[in-house]
A and B are shown apart, each in its own frame.
Chain A
Amino acid sequence: MLSVDISKFLRADGPDKVTGSGRYSADISLTGMAHAKFLYAGVASARITTLDTAAAKAIPGVFAVLTQADVPDIRFGSVADRYLFAKDVVRFEGEVVAAVAAVDADTAQRAVDAIVFEYDALPVVNDIEAALEPDAPLVHEDWESYSARRIVMDRNIASQTILTLGDADAALADADLVIEGRYIADASHAAPIEPRGVVAQWEGDKVTIWTSSQVPFQARDGVCETLELPTNRVRIIVPHLGGGFGGKCGFHYEAHIAALARAARRPVRLVFSRREEFLAPDRRREGMIVELTTGLRSDGTIAARKARILLDYGAYSSDATFFPHMAAMHALGPYKIDNVYAESSAVYTNRQPSGSVRAPTAPQACWALETHTDELAAAVGMDPVAFRRLNGVDTGASGVSGQVFDAIGLQECITLATEDVGYGDVLPGDEAIGVAIGWWPSFPGASGAYVKLDSDGKGVIVTGAQECGTGAVMTLPYLVANELGMQPEDFELVYQDTSAAPYDVGATGSQTLLNNGIATIEASYQIASRLREIAASMLEAEADDIVLENGHAHVDGSPDTAIPIARLARRANHTGMLIGKGARIAPPDPKTSISAIGDQGVSSFAGPQFSCHAVRVKLDRDTGVARVLAVSAAHDSGTIVNPIGAAGQVEGGVLMGIGQALTERTEYDDKGRQVNPALLDYKLQTFADAPPISVQFVEVFTPDMGPHGAKAIAEAPNVATAAAISNALGKLVGLPMRELPMTSERVWRAIQAVGS
């Protein structure tokens, strides 16, 4: 492993964060800065009849009021189905209709209220099954004109994937037992504690935008596309980011605020309220209906599985076009099945758009599948853990897409988690243990970094990577120090600035350390080899024999004659500087044998991660209130580079999963509007709710993936928890759970149903 001690990981951004000196987007204030407010549709589906901003513009202290008429007439999004501001129609309540910049927030709000916005209500598409009826109103009348390359669209179907391996119908007909189930998950939210902020300032024809983005390069590209600017005139800087969980992926409002600042001729700041954070961004964890049919052989093995999945896509395309494909993979699951068929469709509705929230589609689909799996085990009279052992994938096995797995640790995860939680122990009558398994890919992709050593031997890592709290970027100095025989504190980080650093995908897909770690190590190799050359000439040795250790260079075997790296660095200025660059190039995807219509590229799981979560749950049968007493989470995420950081991802992911399981639910009224856009009514798990979470890693060295044999980590812990809780509740209630979240009211109703 690393030669530097990472067991006491001290994050370099930590002092800034614990002392309050750290700046987040809303903390940035510029001279002459104006304040932005948006006018939202407030109605889920309507045709605009009047949009008059004259009265708003006339209010003293108002610098600019913009609508779609004031910005380039450009449609964007993955199928180009939307504009920056509503044009002619509004399709969800949080759609931005107009934006104001004014001297202060109150004045901006008064101007928003003064905009004359009138409309004729249109029918609201508020139900994903009704949306598929032949006479259903269309969310997008013009869907056929959209640029849906590789994406299957049809009326209200925004994206569809059909997967076929073997012959599922024939295998079902031959099966000894066929079990069906239907599962319904509600929408939920990423809910980072920081509501987003955006600040834009023009200097000549160049704009700098500070924003709470997980994906600064994608945000930049969105600004460039919608405002028709070249990339080198738009600089995105992300100050500290107060969490994202996918909620701050994508391109959000940076262009609106840049356009406002240009029109206002002064810097402009937008800071979201919690309510806006719930209602407006094109990010929400989608609601889902999963129907599963599984054929079993009498020996307990799975002969075939069919899945039909509907996802609530919301009004516009963000990055969710791959969701049907990903949801299908999770509904089929990490099992050995030779015959599968999945038909999975994302359906347009007049609701907030869905977008990637931590392990998009996986927690809901895993919950459905793993609830179903306990039903399968019961049907063949097997213990549910033994059933998963028998049918779950293992090294050398072929999965549901025909991908044959190299060394993986799912079976060890099952062993560790179930032993740790005390599976099989005798429990009080109001307690039970539920177990679920999950999987999630790693996403190798493009990512770049520079490393330099200055003449005093201190270094700077300039990285395109984005830190969203996980500690992934903060781990980079450890990787570089490890290559150069130096200490992590010797390196400063320059990050989250699109004009300073090479490209990176951003804090999305758990890809930061996976890809940027490789890029950064590659950059440090170049510096290491320059240091070795310089040391070799000074020590009259071969460069290959030079060892970099403890801040010094010496000839292998002669540690007593060592030259400080700072001295080598001083010399380097005269002999060619110490500058390294690295770029991750993704390896080819593993092969599969499944056929896909509407292929979104996720039949193959590169660097597949596996997990088993086992939870002990206590149920109050009088009220339906469930309490999670303990969680054991075992993960195969390859080599663990940063144990504290990785454990923090599992702990946070599990608690988010408990929230998804029990309390987190976005409710809609019959007009497609959110009923509970506030933390009082949308309940996150508190300190008092949090059970002890025991974390274990099955460290399977995984070649050609992340640094030192690592796979990704941040999303995988958010996959199996809700499913495990469902299985514990299923045992306690005596009926499988069919709706997510499993609120006390729903559990209570299930208890009554069993009783009657």
Chain B
Amino acid sequence: MTESYTLTVNEVAYSIVADAQRSLLSVIRGEVGLTGTKEGCDDSECGACMVLVDGRPVNSCSYLAVQAQGRAITTIEGLASGDALHVLQRNMLEEGGVQCGFCTPGMIMSAHALLDQNPDATEEDIRLGLAGNLCRCTGYAGIMKAVVRTAREGLSTDS
């Protein structure tokens, strides 16, 4: 059944007309037109589709878009302000946390939520906190360095 509703993504309101069964991921990538959020499995297994809903990380492939009405959705495109990279983005880049980049948006959103909740996250916290985000390229080593460095510098530092 088709529903009409409003989604607020990265502080912009979008009028959506879509089937009620559609996932938040497919509406963000389709109707909203933001393709930074990736689909790796459509099954809650890879974390590539991670976005923040009211600051909480969710696998958007397994979350109905209609449920996100009235909530603030943040995607990877909403992280940087203007041309400057977000500190987490810059650190991922500088510490070798990015190879193919397909896991990167989801990884960054999860890491953002983790450090937001736990600014003093230890390596063990990071390993457990990001265990839902699969990366096939890096062995997680560069990502670990980037997140540890961001924890040290603080999530809201200017990059």
Report B115-145 residues with CB < 8 Å from chain A CB. Answer: 126-128, 130-144
Taking CB atoms and an 8 Å cut-off, the chain B residues in 36-88 that contact chain A are 36-43, 45-46, 48, 75-77, 79-80, 85
A652→B134 contact, CB < 8 A: no
A195→B93 contact, CB < 8 A: no
Selected interface stretch from A51-59, A170-178, A239-247: A239-247
Contact of B138 among A651, A679, A686 (CB under 8 A): A651
Q: Is A18 a contact of B101 with CB atoms below 8 Å?
A: yes
Is B100 among interface residues, defined by CB-CB distance under 8 A? Answer: yes
Q: Which residues of B contact A8 (CB under 8 A)?
A: 94
A690→B140 contact, CB < 8 A: yes
Q: Does A22 contact B (CB under 8 A)?
A: yes
Please tell me if the beta carbons of A17 and B41 are within 8 angstroms of each other in the complex. no
B54 CB → nearest A CB, Å:
20
Contacting residue for A18 out of B38, B104, B131, CB 8 A: B104
The 10 closest A-B pairs by CB, nearest first: A20-B36, A469-B100, A17-B101, A242-B102, A651-B139, A20-B76, A655-B139, A27-B35, A469-B99, A679-B45
Contact A245 B101 (CB under 8 A): no
Instruction: Evaluate contact between B37 and A20: CB separation under 8 angstroms.
Output: yes
Is B154 among interface residues, defined by CB-CB distance under 8 A?
no
Is B16 positioned at the interface, with any CB of A under 8 Å from its CB? Answer: no
Contact between A471 and B99, CB atoms less than 8 A apart: yes
A470 on interface, CB distance cutoff 8 Å: yes
Contact of B85 with A679 in the complex, beta carbons under 8 Å: no
Count chain A CB atoms within 10 A of each CB in B38, B43, B137, B141 and give the residue with the most.
B137
Chain A: minimal CB distance from B64 (Å): 17
Provide the residues of chain A in CB contact with B139, threshold 8 Å: 648, 650-656, 690, 693
A-chain residues with CB within 8 Å of residue B79 when the two chains form the complex: 19
For residue B144, give the distance in angstroms from its CB to the closest CB of chain A: 8
- Inter-chain contact A242/B101, CB cutoff 8 Å: yes
CB-nearest residue of chain B to A19: B80
A469 to B100, CA, bound (A): 4
Q: Contacting A192 at CB < 8 Å: which of B45, B102, B108, B132? A: B102
Which of B40, B126, B134 has the largest number of chain A CB atoms within 10 A?
B40
Given A10-B94, A468-B100, A678-B41, 4 other A-B residues pairs in contact with their CB atoms under 8 A: A17-B98, A18-B89, A192-B102, A653-B139
Flag if A648 contacts B96 (CB, 8 Å). yes
Are A17 and B137 interface neighbours, CB within 8 A?
no
A353 to B112, CA, bound (A): 41
Report the minimal beta-carbon distance from B101 to chain A, rounded to whole angstroms. Answer: 3
Cα distance, A11 to B42, chains bound together (Å): 29
Question: Are A21 and B101 CB-contacts (below 8 A) given A192-B136, A469-B137, A688-B128?
Answer: no
Q: How far is the CA of A240 from the CA of B40 in the complex (A)?
A: 15
Q: Does B34 contact A (CB under 8 A)?
A: yes
B103 within 8 A of A: yes
Do most interface residues of chain B lie in helix, strand or loop, or is the interface mixed?
loop
Q: Which of B36, B40, B80, B85 contacts A193 (CB 8 A)?
A: B40
B135–A9 CB distance below 8 A: no
Alpha-carbon distance A22/B77, docked complex (angstroms)? 11
* CB-based contact A651/B39 at 8 Å: no
Residues in A with CB closer than 8 Å to B37 are 20
A645 CA to B130 CA, complexed, in Å: 23
Do residues B100 and A241 form an inter-chain contact, with CB atoms below 8 A?
Answer: yes
22 A-B pairs whose Cβ atoms sit less than 8 Å apart in the complex: A10-B93, A15-B85, A16-B101, A18-B76, A18-B98, A18-B101, A19-B85, A19-B89, A20-B105, A24-B102, A26-B39, A27-B29, A192-B102, A193-B38, A193-B102, A273-B42, A274-B42, A647-B96, A648-B138, A655-B140, A686-B131, A687-B144
- B residues near A (Cβ < 8 Å) are 29, 34-43, 45-46, 48, 75-77, 79-80, 85, 89-90, 92-94, 96, 98-105, 108, 126-128, 130-144
Chain A nearest CB, measured from B131 CB (Å) = 4
Residues 399-450 of A contacting B (Cβ, < 8 Å): none
Say yes or no: is A23 at the interface (Cβ < 8 Å to chain B).
Answer: yes
Within 8 A of B (CB), among A595-611: none
- Give the distance in Å from the alpha carbon of A34 to the alpha carbon of B32 in the complex: 19
| Pairwise interchain contact B93-A679, C-beta atoms closer than 8 A | no
Partner of A242, one of B38, B80, B94: B38
Minimum CB distance partner of B106 in chain A: A193
Chain B residue contacts of A650, Cβ below 8 A:
139
B-side contacts of A15, CB under 8 Å: 85, 89, 93
In the bound complex, do residue B140 and residue A193 qualify as a contact, i.e. CB atoms below 8 Å apart?
no
Docked complex Cα distance between A469 and B136 (Å)? 10
- A469 contact set on B, CB distance < 8 A: 99-101, 137
Interface of A is mostly: loop
| Closest residue of A by beta carbon distance from B40 | A193
Assess the A693–B102 pair: CB atoms within 8 A.
no
* Cα of A686 to Cα of B77 in the assembled complex, Å: 25
In chain A, residues 462-509, which have Cβ atoms closer than 8 Å to a Cβ of chain B?
A: 468-471
Bound Cα distance A23, B29 (Å): 12
With A13-B101, A20-B75 as known contacts, state yes or no: A652 contacts B93, CB within 8 Å. no
Of A9, A19, A245, A470, which is within 8 A of B136 by CB?
A245
Interchain nearest-CB distance for B22 vs A (Å): 11
Contact of A385 with B by CB under 8 A:
no
Measured CA separation A24–B29 after assembly (Å):
12
Instruction: Tell yes or no: A194 within 8 A of B by CB.
Output: yes
Q: Closest Cβ of chain A: how far from B43's Cβ, in Å?
A: 7
A264-310 interface (Cβ within 8 A of B)? 273-274
Chain B's closest residue to A648 (CB) is: B96
In the complex, chain A residues 1-52 whose Cβ is within 8 Å of any chain B Cβ:
8-11, 13-24, 26-27
At the interface, yes or no: A754 with Cβ under 8 Å from chain B? no
Counting CB contacts under 8 A, is A538 at the interface?
no
A residues within 8 A CB of B126?
A: 687
Q: Smallest Cβ distance from A230 to chain B, in angstroms?
A: 32
Query: Among A20, A274, A687, which residue has its beta carbon within 8 angstroms of that of B40?
Result: A274
Q: Is A191 an interface residue (CB 8 A)?
A: yes
A461 cross-chain contacts in B, Cβ below 8 A: none
Cβ of A753 under 8 Å from chain B: no
Q: Is the CB of A243 within 8 A of B39?
A: no
Across the interface, A652 reaches (CB within 8 A) one of B38, B76, B102, B137, namely B137
Which residue of chain B lies nearest to A681 when distances are taken between CB atoms in the complex?
B45
Cα A242 to Cα B136 in complex, Å, equals 10
The distance from the CB of A393 to the nearest CB of chain B, in whole angstroms, is 28
Given A18-B93, A19-B89, A193-B46, verify A652-B35 contact (CB < 8 Å).
no
- B77 contacts A21, C-beta separation under 8 Å: yes
Nearest residue in A to B109 (C-beta to C-beta)?
A: A20
Q: Is A644 an interface residue (CB 8 A)?
A: yes
Q: Is the CB of B127 within 8 A of A193?
A: no
Please name all residues of chain A whose beta carbon is closer than 8 Å to the beta carbon of B45 when the two chains form the complex: 274, 678-680
Partner among A17, A679, A687 whose Cβ is within 8 Å of the Cβ of B43? A679
* Distance, CA A13 to CA B102, complexed state (A): 12
A133 to chain B, nearest CB (A): 38
The residues of A that contact B85 with a CB separation of less than 8 Å are 15, 18-19
User: Are the C-beta atoms of B137 and A243 separated by less than 8 Å?
Assistant: yes
The minimal Cβ–Cβ distance linking B46 to chain A, given in whole angstroms, is: 6
Q: Give the distance in Å from the alpha carbon of A194 to the alpha carbon of B99 in the complex.
A: 12
Which interface residue of A9, A471, A650, A686 has the most chain B CB atoms within 10 A? A686
Q: Which A residues are CB-close (under 8 A) to B132?
A: 686
**Min CB distance, B149 to chain A, in Å?**
14
Contact A648 B142 (CB under 8 A): yes
Q: Are A679 and B134 in contact (CB under 8 A)?
A: yes
A241 contact set on B, CB distance < 8 A: 100
Contact A192 B96 (CB under 8 A): no
